């Protein structure tokens, strides 16, 4: 899958922008605040119907303007598809594919796979377990609609069960028969989620390990563990064991909605014992594994967006990363960097197609391509 | 909303409590009644009062009825040994319109949903258990919504009736008649394949 061209009107700091991209490496270079990341965000809009950074659509319109338009042509399985996204202040988002408006945006999401790597990903390590569950759930949901359906049903059962626990507490009553049917439903959907998550991790972890070893030159060992809140118990037994606590907290304390991923480096907790660079390498490996996974399930190479990846990485690991994404395993890649010379140097001796775009204050400066590229 | 008249305000308040009616629509209703002749207002008043004073719930199946027992339960031609469990009166209308069901009904009056404060004790489950326990019923069909709450309620009813020797079934879920496979959502299609039925040609 390839993004052939992109055109913007009034998007963030771009009054007008038009560019055609090459099928492999595209580098957006320029100083801070010039709008390199905004270009990646525009690509994110085209594939996911929303911004990666700002959930409020209208805040992505240029200051003082009333609308923005993002258009792009994506080539997928040798077919060119025109995408169009427009936001007007106080109006519904308009999203079109080949000039035909979508009835539901959810029909679009997932049909153009993309992986974004940005400095904000560090939350995945530092943040709450909810973010890590969401990481896993969103990857699986992109190719398994049945999983998504189970996830929605399960989330609703948790809400219903919590509401019931609250009622018990308020009325100072308890009815085990009624609770039991919710426990059954929780176990029914929850077990399915656990099975699918386990199958997913069994495939995902080897991909992840391979990327980490490559980037770190096999200096460290890493692992991802699944922390199951059921602790090897039968689902219903775990619910019974947790019941006294659940009744006090009026909240369901065990189940896939409480599970977590354990990130480990050399057998120790990543968050506490790894350096910034090691954490960054870990995140890169996670995202590259996500890429491999989607590529396999969707049977096409997703777009890869790398925002400010040089941040916190040493020269060696950065070079490894660039080598990796230049390999044929990957497809079209978009990279932002503040140092055009560094990028040009890296790609100088590589046989990979590469195009540079110099960005200054929301404008594209004349094309700047290394002589031998 | 300032309406300048206590009488209009009161009417608007009352209309706005109806499902799907907001303050503005309620005001339109009130103005419409003011403009029309008195006869219409009286007719409306009577119909509303009669809904509450003359309509009852069938003592056997909880369907709405003008007598103690509803017409369906009284109909001797209907199969007295089969009971179809539904959420409310509207579902009976829908099934009756198919013309394919000749048994009796049992209206639960809702679905179990703690979020809306509805528990099994708020539904007509006990009378169903009694009905099945007193003999004469051989088959129970669960015709509830395909939502998680519908399935949970079906599960509960199933558990409560588990002690009786009954034939229990639930209505089939899958591809709508006349629908193309291509446009069927993946979850429904997946379930249709898992729960496929023998084809006898």
Sheet strand arrangement including A354-360: A114-117, A303-306, A333-337, A25-29, A354-360, A363-364
Determine contact: A182 vs chain B, CB below 8 A.
Answer: yes
- Are B84 and B95 spatial neighbours (Cβ–Cβ below 8 Å)? yes
Q: Which residues contact A77 (CB under 8 A, 6 or more apart)?
A: A300
pLDDT at B183: 86
A-B Cβ pairs (cutoff 8 Å, strict): 46
**Disruptive mutation site among A142, A146, A297 for chain B (greatest number of B CBs within 10 Å):** A146
Q: Give pLDDT, residue A368.
A: 52
Residue written as tokens 């326990």?
B133
ipTM: 0.75
- Inter-chain touch A146–B155, beta carbons under 8 Å: no
pLDDT tens-digit profile, chain B (201 residues): 677 889 999 999 999 999 999 999 999 999 999 999 999 999 999 999 999 999 999 999 999 999 999 999 999 999 999 999 999 999 999 999 999 999 999 999 999 999 999 999 999 999 999 999 998 899 999 999 999 999 999 999 999 999 999 999 999 988 888 888 888 888 889 889 988 989 887
Q: Which residues contact A293 (CB under 8 A, 6 or more apart)?
A: A139, A203, A204, A207
Residues 6+ apart with CB under 8 A from A36: A28, A29, A30, A307, A336, A337, A359
Chain B CB within 8 Å of residue A316 CB: no
CB-CB contact of A128 with A259 (8 Å): no
Smallest Cβ distance to A164: which of B114, B155, B159?
B114
Contacts of A265 (CB under 8 A, 6+ apart): A220, A221, A222, A273, A274, A278, A282
d(CA A204, CA A64) in angstroms, rounded, equals 45
Taking the CA atoms of A36, A42, A45 and A48 in sequence, report the sign of the dihedral they define. negative
Domains and CATH numbers, chain B: 6-53 (1.10.8.420), 75-170 (3.40.1360.10), 173-201 (no CATH)
CB contact (8 A) between residue B190 and residue A146 = yes
> What is the number of alpha carbons within 13 Å of residue B39 lying toward its C-beta?
0
Quote the tokens at residue B76.
Answer: 């001797």
Architecture of the domain made up of A132-202+229-257: Up-down Bundle (1.20)
Check CB contact under 8 Å for A181 and B155.
yes
- Residue spans per domain, chain A: 2-113+300-364, 132-202+229-257
Question: How far is residue A323's CA from residue A214's CA, in Å, rounded to a whole number?
Answer: 10
- Interchain pair B117, A167: CB under 8 A: yes
Name residues of chain A where pLDDT drops below 50.
371-373
pLDDT in tens, A1-45: 999 999 999 999 999 999 999 999 999 999 998 999 999 999 999
pLDDT for the residue numbered B62: 96
Looking at the partner chain, which of B113, B155, B190 has a beta carbon nearest the beta carbon of A184? B155
Question: In this structure, are strands A14-20 and A2-11 parallel, antiparallel, or unpaired?
Answer: antiparallel
B168 CB-contact burial (10 Å; exposed 0-12 / middle 13-18 / buried 19+): middle
Q: What's the CA gap between B144 and B171, in Å, rounded? A: 8
pLDDT recorded at residue A373 = 42
Superfamily holding A2-113+300-364: P-loop containing nucleotide triphosphate hydrolases (3.40.50.300)
Å from A153 to nearest chain B CA? 6
Q: In this complex, do B156 and A181 lie within 8 Å of one another by their Cβ atoms?
A: yes
E strands present in A228-332: 260-265, 268-269, 303-306
**What are the C-alpha distances in Å from B24 to residues A358, B2, B141, B148?**
56, 12, 43, 34
């Amino acid at each position: 899958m390839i993004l052939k061209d992109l055109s913007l009107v009034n998007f963030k700091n771009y009054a007008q922008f038009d560019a055609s991209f090459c099928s492999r490496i595209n580098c957006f270079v320029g100083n801070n605040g010039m709008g390199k990341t905004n270009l990646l965000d525009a690509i994110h809009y085209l594939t996911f119907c929303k911004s990666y950074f700002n959930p409020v659509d209208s805040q992505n319109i240029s200051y003082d303007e009333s609308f923005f338009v993002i258009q792009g042509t994506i080539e997928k399985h040798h077919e060119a598809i025109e995408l169009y996204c427009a936001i007007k202040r106080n109006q519904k988002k308009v999203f079109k594919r080949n000039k035909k408006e979508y009835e539901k945006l959810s029909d679009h999401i997932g049909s153009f796979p993309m992986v974004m790597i940005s400095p904000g990903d560090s939350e995945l390590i530092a943040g709450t377990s909810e973010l890590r569950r969401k990481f896993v759930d969103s990857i699986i949901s992109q190719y398994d609609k049945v999983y998504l359906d189970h996830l929605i049903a399960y989330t609703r059962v948790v809400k219903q069960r919590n509401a019931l626990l609250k009622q018990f507490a308020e009325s100072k009553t308890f009815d085990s028969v009624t609770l039991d049917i919710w426990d059954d439903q929780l176990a029914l959907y929850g077990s399915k989620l656990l099975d699918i998550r386990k199958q997913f991790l069994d495939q995902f972890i080897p991909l992840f390990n391979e990327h980490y070893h490559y980037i770190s030159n096999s200096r460290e060992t890493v692992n991802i563990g699944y922390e199951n809140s059921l602790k090897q118990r039968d689902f219903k037994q775990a619910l019974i064991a947790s019941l006294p606590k659940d009744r006090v907290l009026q909240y369901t304390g065990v189940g896939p909605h409480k599970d977590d991923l354990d990130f480990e480096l050399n057998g120790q907790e990543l968050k506490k014992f790894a350096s910034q660079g090691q954490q960054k390498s870990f995140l890169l490996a996670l995202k590259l594994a996500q890429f491999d996974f989607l590529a396999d399930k969707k049977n096409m190479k997703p777009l890869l967006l790398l925002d400010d990846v040089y941040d916190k990485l040493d020269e060696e690991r950065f070079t490894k990363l660039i080598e990796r994404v230049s390999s044929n395993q990957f497809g079209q890649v978009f990279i932002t960097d503040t140092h055009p010379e560094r990028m040009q140097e890296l790609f100088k001796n590589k046989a990979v197609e590469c195009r540079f775009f110099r960005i200054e204050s929301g404008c594209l400066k004349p094309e700047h391509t290394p002589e031998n590229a | 909303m300032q309406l300048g008249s206590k009488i209009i305000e009161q009417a608007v308040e009352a209309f706005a409590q109806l499902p799907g009616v907001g303050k503005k629509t309620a005001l339109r209703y009130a103005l419409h009644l003011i403009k029309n002749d008195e006869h219409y207002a009286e007719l409306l008043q009577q119909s509303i009062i009669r809904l509450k004073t003359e309509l009852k719930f069938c003592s056997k199946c909880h369907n709405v009825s003008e007598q103690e027992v509803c017409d369906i339960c009284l109909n001797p031609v209907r199969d007295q040994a089969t009971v179809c469990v539904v959420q409310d009166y509207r579902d009976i209308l829908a099934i009756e319109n198919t013309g394919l069901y000749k048994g009796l009904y049992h209206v639960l009056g809702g679905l179990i949903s703690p979020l809306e404060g509805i528990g099994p004790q708020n539904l007509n489950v006990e009378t169903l258990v009694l009905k099945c326990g007193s003999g004469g019923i051989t088959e129970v069909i669960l015709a509830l919504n395909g939502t998680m709450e519908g399935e949970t309620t079906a599960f509960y009813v199933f558990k409560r009736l588990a002690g009786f020797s009954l034939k229990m079934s639930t209505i089939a879920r899958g591809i709508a008649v006349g629908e193309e496979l291509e446009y069927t959502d993946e979850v429904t299609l997946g379930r249709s394949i898992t729960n496929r039925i023998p084809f006898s040609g």
